[in-house]
Amino acid sequence: MTASTIAGDQGGGTLADQAYRSISDRLVTLQIRPGEPINDERIAAELGFGRTPVREALKRLEHERLIVAYPRRGTFATEVQIADLGHISEVREQLEPLAARMAAQRAGQSDRADLDRLLSRLADVSDGGTGLIRLDMAVHRAIYAATRNPYLEDTLIRYDNLATRIWCLFLDRLPGLAGHVHEHGPLLRAVIDGDAEKAAALAAGHVEGFEAAIRGVI
């Protein structure tokens, strides 16, 4: 798996950034299962990185609550806590519409070109499972990047990661996965067209629909 596994994710950055993206992808899509031990030497060998950038990436992932380190016991992928769904949604219900509105107002030509490419991919996508999940993540990240606010972008990536882990846990029980991802089409169009209020409303509805879908199967 490469550092740009998540479709649409920008490659490059420091080795620690690349290691972070690769390990984060595995954690978020549950390729590294909740509670599974994390061995930095093994992951470094698998990904082709040195141990130093992997350790730096793991520190960042611990801050983002994707892994947890226990003295004398080791490092593990955090358990997925369904009880956190409400807390995560409270944050996303406020910040996702804000990001969509700002993206519609601030997106530059290259941002809109990226969003347009994702819109085309949404129309053509036929795969399921983690392929759709990665496309969903790519759409969110492209919108976050278009806000031109790195602090908002980083915050939303963190909460989208936590939400997506919950989604992946119930993937086989959520028959509307494709429809949920295709909802992004009108949102992307609103951002591309600069319709800030419509983009914000669609983003709010998307977050509410996500929480309702999860609660419908637990």
Q: Give percent of the chain with pLDDT exceeding 90.
A: 73
Sketch the domain layout of the chain as residue ranges.
Answer: 15-77, 83-215
pLDDT at 9 over 50: no
pLDDT at 183 over 90: no
Q: What is the mean pLDDT of residues 108-126?
A: 90
pLDDT at 189 over 50: yes
Residue 1 — very low, low, confident or very high, per pLDDT cuts 50/70/90?
very low
Contact criterion met (CB below 8 Å) for 47 and 19: yes
Q: What is the mean pLDDT of residues 191-207?
A: 97
What CA–CA distance (Å, rounded) separates 207 from 146?
19
- The answer to which of 6-10, 12-16, 57-61 has the lowest mean pLDDT is 6-10
> Which CATH fold would you assign to the domain 83-215?
Four Helix Bundle (Hemerythrin (Met), subunit A) (1.20.120)
Which residue, among 99, 183, 84, 81, has the nearest Cα to 145 in the 3D structure?
Answer: 99
Q: Give percent of the chain with pLDDT exceeding 70.
A: 90
The CATH class that applies to domain 15-77 reads mainly alpha
pLDDT at 6 over 70: no
Q: What is the mean pLDDT of residues 163-170?
A: 91
Residue scoring higher pLDDT (173 or 14): 14
pLDDT at 29: 93
Sheet holding 67-70, edge to edge: 37-38, 74-77, 67-70
Contact criterion met (CB below 8 Å) for 157 and 28: no
Which 8-state DSSP code applies to residue 55? Answer: H
